[in-house]
Amino acid sequence: MIKSIRSAFAFFTRLPVGKAPIHHSLSGVTAWLPLVGIVLGLLIGVSVYCLQFVFPPFIVGLLACGLWIILTGGLHLDGVADCGDGLFVETSRERRLEIMKDSRLGTFGGITLFMVLSVKIFALSHIAGLGLWQILCACILATVLGRSQIFLLMKYPSARPGGMGDAVRQGTTNRQALIGTGIAAILALIAAPFGPIAFMVATALSLYIIHLSMKRLGGTTGDIYGCTIEVTECLVLIIFCLNLHQFFVR
C-alpha cells in the first residue's frame, strides 16, 4: 500500500516521495487520487491563509496559483492547452488527435490556458481573507473533485489506445472508482453549503466534456482527463466565490 501511495504522488505531483521503489504503471495507483487531492488542497489552502497576512489579495492569488503549478508540475495544464487547440477546430477526428499530440502551443490552446490560470488566480485572491476552515474547504474540494472526475471519464472508451488515458482506465478497478467517488461526495457534504452544489455542477461539467470528447474524438484521452481536472478545479473555486459574504464572516 505504501508503495502505491508513493507511486501516486510520484506520478501526479512533484512532492518528494523518497527513494523507495515505485510502480512503473498506473495499476492501483489512481485509487489514491483522492488522497493526492487532499494533500494538494491542504498545502494550497494553508499557503493562501498564511500569505494573506503578508500580501494583498491579488498577490496571494498569484503566488498560490504558482505554488499549485509547482506542486503538480503543470501536468494537467498541458491537457488544457492541447484540448484548447484540438477540440475547437473544425477538422477530422484524426487531425484533432494529431493536433493534441503536437507539443507546440496554438492560439486556441494559449487562450484556454490563459483563461484557466486567470480564473484560478482571481478566485484564490477572492477567497483570501476568509477563515482557515473556509479556505481549506474551497481548496481541498477543488483538488479532490477535480481528480475524482477521472473515475467518471474512465468509463468511456479511449480515443488513443496505449496513451495515458487508456493506462488510467486499465489501472483502475470499479471498486476503486466507487470508493474514490464516495470520498469526494463525503467531502462535498462536509463543505456545505457550497460543497454539494460544486459536486453536482462538476459532474454535469464532466458529462458535457465527455459528450464533446466522444463527438469530436470518438473517446477520451489523457489530455481530456487533465483538462477536466483543471476546469473542475476552476469551477469549484468559482462556486465558493458566490455570495460568500452571506455565509461567512470575514
What is the C-alpha separation between 104 and 97, in angstroms, rounded? 13
Per DSSP, 31 falls in state: G
What is the C-alpha separation between 139 and 71, in angstroms, rounded? 14
What is the C-alpha separation between 135 and 146, in angstroms, rounded? 17
Name the residue ranges covered by the structural domains of the chain.
2-246
Instruction: Indicate the SS3 state at residue 243.
Output: coil
223 residue type, one letter: D
pLDDT digits (tens, 9 = 90+) for 137-167: 999 999 999 999 999 998 898 888 877 777 7
Instruction: Indicate the SS3 state at residue 222.
Output: helix
Model pTM above 0.85: yes
Instruction: Indicate the SS3 state at residue 15.
Output: coil
Per-residue pLDDT of the chain (250 residues; tens, 9 = 90+): 778 888 889 888 999 886 555 555 667 788 899 999 999 999 999 999 999 999 999 999 999 999 999 999 998 999 999 999 888 888 888 899 898 888 888 889 999 999 999 999 999 999 998 889 999 999 999 999 999 999 999 889 888 887 777 778 787 888 988 999 999 999 999 998 899 999 999 999 999 999 999 999 999 998 999 999 999 999 999 999 886 445 544 4
